[in-house]
Amino acid sequence: MSYKDFFGENRPTPSKKRDEPNVTPLSPPKFDTTPVVEKYDVMAFQGFSSGRPLLLEKPTKYVDRIVNSMKQIIAIPENDQHGGVEGRVYLSPIFTLPVALLHEGDKIGNETVNRYPYLHFPSNHVWDADEISLDEYLLAIEYMFVIHDVAQEDTAGNLLTYGVDGDYTMDDDAWKTACEWSREISKPLSDLNRGRLLGFAINSQSEREVDTVANLFDLWGEEREPQQILSDAQNAAGDVEDLYDMVFSIPFEPFH
């Protein structure tokens, strides 16, 4: 059974009218609850996004996107013992944007890429594994960045942002709301993205895609049968859509 057969006819890629922006226009952030940004020039981190917020693409394209994005961010030391860029990337079925797992001695490539939003986290809400999973923490950050127009994705695969400089804090009540949203969406989003990866691999009839998704599933401890993964993905789509529409302006296309 192909991906297309299982999920039905694919809908066309959202098209835009002439001069119509791909995303809601960005506006300067509000300083009381969002990161301090010194410049209002919009930066485009090209190829950092799948083009569909929260959703993953073909397995090989996904892995290549994350690795290639980090190659633009991290300057690997000459005496590296941590596996190069590949040893510093975070692959997740829940948080889909590039984030670096830095080691001591690692440096960011230059001042421009140092403004990449997901290199900076709120000083008053540091990650605590006893309180929230890393995936849910990163999703909460994404929620805050999008809601407050600090960073958004477009359909061309770019992350558009004003950039983030240095330390910042987030309003406690706003952060609580972000965490509630991330906790609610994380499980169905994980199911949906695993189904997307598997569906793309099956539909491609490519050994490389199948091997890549098998490696990802092994990394994530996935033990369900393929048909169950696809079924769970289909069931999860509605739950993800309701929460997605609270945050993102790009149309939700879970099976495209």
In a domain, 43, yes or no: yes
In a domain, 196, yes or no: yes
pLDDT at 112: 84
Domain count, the chain: 1
pLDDT tens digits along 22-44: 333 333 333 333 444 444 588 99
pLDDT at 224: 98
- β-strand partners of 158: 46
Question: Residue 19 region, left (φ>0) first, then alpha (ψ -120 to 50), else beta?
Answer: left
pLDDT at 111: 82
Rounded to 10°, the helix 172-204/207-220 angle is 140
Q: Name the token pair of 192.
A: 């949906």
R_g over Cα of the chain: 18
- For residues 18 and 5, what is the distance between their CA atoms, to the nearest angstrom? 33
pLDDT at 27: 35
In a domain, 8, yes or no: no
Q: State the DSSP H helix or E strand holding residue 44, giving kind and residue range, or none if neither.
A: strand 43-46
In a domain, 14, yes or no: no
pLDDT tens digits along 138-188: 999 999 999 999 999 999 999 999 999 888 999 999 999 999 999 999 999
pLDDT at 82: 83
pLDDT at 151: 96
In a domain, 1, yes or no: no
- Domain range for 200 is 33-244
- Model pTM score: 0.83
Low-confidence ranges of the chain (pLDDT < 70): 1-40
In a domain, 105, yes or no: yes
Q: Can you tell me whether residue 6 is helix, strand or coil?
A: helix
User: Residue 224: which residues within 8 A CB-CB, separation 6 or more?
Assistant: 232
pLDDT at 109: 79
pLDDT at 38: 45
In a domain, 52, yes or no: yes
In a domain, 65, yes or no: yes
pLDDT at 8: 34
227 phi and psi angles, rounded to 5 deg: -65, -35
222 and 194 in contact (C-beta within 8 Å)? Answer: yes
pLDDT at 219: 97
